């Protein structure tokens, strides 16, 4: 699968710049990370050759978080299933009106990160279980259509890297 330059633009359905980018495949998330890196004058993290992708861990550019990094950032030092009352911190089935919402409109975690739970599932770098699921990748965080039990720091989901859904997006990370 070739990964071309990716243009960060308004939400594909609403045109809103404040909504999380959704309906993005894992492959497109890699391309977006590389594009963000180039625009910022940073070294892209990924080299893609067909369906082979290598992560240059020495690169200073944007990338997808590992599953462990994602959970660490989501928890922000807490140990429970959530960093606060769900209705205060996340858009999920009971309060979303069955649609995606602008980023940053729920309370952040202790490290100032918004929407790590709810609103949209976020792609991670990791393979889910390659011996069983092959190339399926990890999604974390829960989305606007999910029940409360799905919006917890420990919940994980898997999907094929070509999946494109209205409650799947990504959160770029950088190494220090």
Residue 19 domain-assigned (yes or no): no
The number of distinct structural domains making up the chain is 1
Q: Is residue 22 situated within a structural domain? A: no
pLDDT in tens, 79-135: 999 999 999 999 999 999 999 999 999 999 999 999 999 999 999 999 999 999 999
**pLDDT digit string, tens, across residues 37-50:** 999 999 999 999 99
Q: What is the pLDDT of residues 27-38, one digit of tens each?
A: 999 999 999 999
Measured on CA atoms in the order 102, 104, 105, 107, is the torsion positive or negative? positive
Contact 103, 117 (CB under 8 A): no
pLDDT at 16: 54
Confidence of residue 171 (pLDDT cuts 50, 70, 90): very high
Look up the CATH number of the domain holding residue 156. 3.90.1580.10
Cβ-count burial 71-109 (b if 16+ within 10 Å, e if not): bebbbbeeeeebbbebeebbbbbeebeeebbbbeebeeb
Residue 91 lies in a domain: yes
Q: Is residue 75 part of a domain?
A: yes
* Alpha-carbon span 163 to 171, nearest angstrom: 16
Q: Give the distance, in angstroms, between the CA of residue 47 and the centroid of all CA atoms in the same chain.
A: 20
What was the pLDDT predicted at 115? 94
Question: For 150-167, what is each residue's pLDDT tens digit?
Answer: 999 999 999 999 999 999
- When pLDDT is cut at 50, 70 and 90, the band that residue 17 belongs to is low
Query: Does the residue 71 lie in any domain?
Result: yes
Average pLDDT along the chain:
90
User: Over 50: is that where the pLDDT of 136 sits?
Assistant: yes
Residue 31 domain flag = no
Q: Is residue 115 part of a domain?
A: yes
- Residues 62 and 42: beta-carbon distance below 8 Å: yes
Residue 27 lies in a domain: no
**What domain range is 141 assigned to?**
63-174
């Amino acid at each position: 699968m070739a990964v071309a330059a990716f243009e960060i633009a308004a939400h594909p359905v609403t045109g809103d710049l404040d909504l999380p980018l959704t309906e993005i495949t894992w492959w497109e998330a890699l391309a977006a990370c590389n594009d963000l890196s180039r625009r910022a004058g940073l070294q892209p993290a990924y080299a893609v050759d067909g369906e082979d992708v290598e992560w240059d861990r020495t690169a200073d550019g944007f990338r997808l978080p590992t599953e462990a990094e994602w959970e660490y950032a989501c928890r922000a030092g807490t140990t429970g299933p959530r960093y606060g009352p769900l209705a205060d911190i996340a858009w999920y089935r009971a309060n979303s009106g069955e649609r995606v919402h602008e980023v940053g409109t729920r309370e952040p975690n202790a490290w100032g990160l918004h929407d790590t739970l709810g609103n949209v599932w976020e792609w991670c770098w990791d393979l889910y279980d390659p011996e069983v699921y092959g190339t399926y990748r990890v999604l974390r965080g829960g989305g606007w259509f999910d029940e409360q039990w799905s919006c917890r720091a420990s919940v994980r989901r898997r999907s094929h890297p070509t999946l494109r859904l209205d409650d799947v997006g990504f959160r770029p990370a950088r190494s220090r």
